[in-house]
Amino acid sequence: MVPAIFGCSGTKLTEEERAFFREANPAGYILFGRNCESPEQLRALTDELRDLHGRDKLLISIDQEGGRVARLRPPHWAAYPSGEAFDQLYQLAPASAIEAARAGAKAMALELSAMGITVDYHPPLDLRQKGAHDVIGDRSLGHDPMQIAAIGRAILDGLASGGVAGCIKHMPGHGRSSVDSHKEMPTVHASSDELETDIAPFRKLNSALIGMTGHLKFPVWDGVSPATFSEKIVREIIRGKIGFDGLLLTDDIDMEALDGSVPERAERAIAAGCDIVLNCWAKMDHMQGICERAPSISEQAAGRLDRALAGTLVADNIADEAADLLAKRDELLALAGEAA
């Protein structure tokens, strides 16, 4: 098995993709808006991916946070708010915010499961920082580490109760970024003591089954390599100080923050200690290059992958419960609007 998650180019597999994926046997797949035309089409695509490998427990993933990061949108799928909505409610009624986040996440999972999706790259545990770039911004669950951990735990629990594995991101923290890592490399000039605040939510939720690195440099920890390529940060900070022992994915290795060719990036990330690389854009030459340069998935990473997927399921249809959960979420979120 190749330790990579690959993207697909369209709403159905091409003959070239079908042959390549069957031979490469990647750890999983990621979906984007380009792959999601209708519920019937999307379920057919994910069914084909499962049939291709004969794996009932296949990692088929998506970025479905809510707000501006949502690959599935109305009219075919429900709308979900950004993290900021739960932050605002938490200021008024913490318990209500936690319950709203849990209900919304379960409804989301019921919808994803019916589409054949088993992993959601959600929740982000990055602290919102004043003056930072808005690449995180309203996606954040707040400014306080323990608040973020509390809401983040509710989201993980809600997703799991609907048969979907969540993923904490972006370790060791993206909230201080002054630039967009999709376009250039952020360098975080903060002390070890200051960064204790950033890693606190991740440490609190270090039992999560899946986590994702961020493409940022932290000179106080590693003066040369960004977190995704840094053996020191992976070993001493993510696995060490944070204590995360789940499946560790990279953020998208196509992002312009990183240097070198995409296959070289994949090789460096695996060498640094990441379990699996995320390669989103379905460029055949990149995917073929990753297969050539990356080693087979390690036994330890394969075990983590199995554990991450053990509780996932694929439903026959969207459970009727989803509508009630969304109504409950919206009723609770309305409390913040009434208070304002």
The reported pLDDT for the residue numbered 339 is 53
Residue 251 a catalytic site member = yes
Distance of CA 233 to the CA centre of its chain: 19
Which residues are CB-contacts of 334 (< 8 A; sequence separation ≥ 6)? none
Q: In what order do the strands lie in the sheet with 59-62?
A: 119-120, 59-62, 26-31, 2-7, 276-279, 247-252, 210-213, 168-171
> Domains, the chain, ranges and CATH?
2-25+58-277+295-339 (3.20.20.300)
Is the Cβ–Cβ distance between 118 and 309 less than 8 Å? yes
Is the Cβ–Cβ distance between 149 and 125 less than 8 Å? yes
Q: How far apart are the first and last CA of the chain?
A: 52
**Predicted TM-score of the model (pTM):** 0.96
Q: Report the chain's mean pLDDT, rounded to a whole number.
A: 96
Give the phi and the psi of residue 248 in degrees, each rounded to 5. -105, 115
Positions of the chain with pLDDT lower than 50, given as ranges: 340
Q: Find the catalytic residue in 120, 222, 251, 252.
A: 251
* SS (HEC) of the chain: CEEEEEECCCCCCCHHHHHHHHHHCEEEEEECHHHCCCHHHHHHHHHHHHHHHCCCCCEEEECEEECCEECCCCCCCCCCCCHHHHHHHHHHCHHHHHHHHHHHHHHHHHHHHHCCCCEECCCECCCCCCCCCCCCHHHCCCCCHHHHHHHHHHHHHHHHHCCCECCEEEECCCCCCCCCCCCCCCECCCCHHHHHHHHHHHHHCCCCCEEEECCCECCCCCCCCCHHHCHHHHHHHHHHHCCCCCEEEEEECCCCCCCCCHHHHHHHHHHHCCCEEEECCCCHHHHHHHHHHCCCCCHHHHHHHHHHHCCCCCCCCCCCHHHHHHHHHHHHHHHHHHHC
CA 241, CA 238: separation in Å to the nearest integer?
A: 6
Q: Find the catalytic residue in 51, 134, 182, 259.
A: 182
User: Taking the CB of residue 161, how many other CB atoms lie within 10 A of it?
Assistant: 14
R_g over Cα of the chain: 19
CA 127, CA 27: separation in Å to the nearest integer?
A: 30
The reported pLDDT for the residue numbered 338 is 61
Kindly list the distances between the CA atom of residue 309 and the CA atoms of 57, 60, 109, in Å, as whole numbers in the listed order. 6, 10, 14
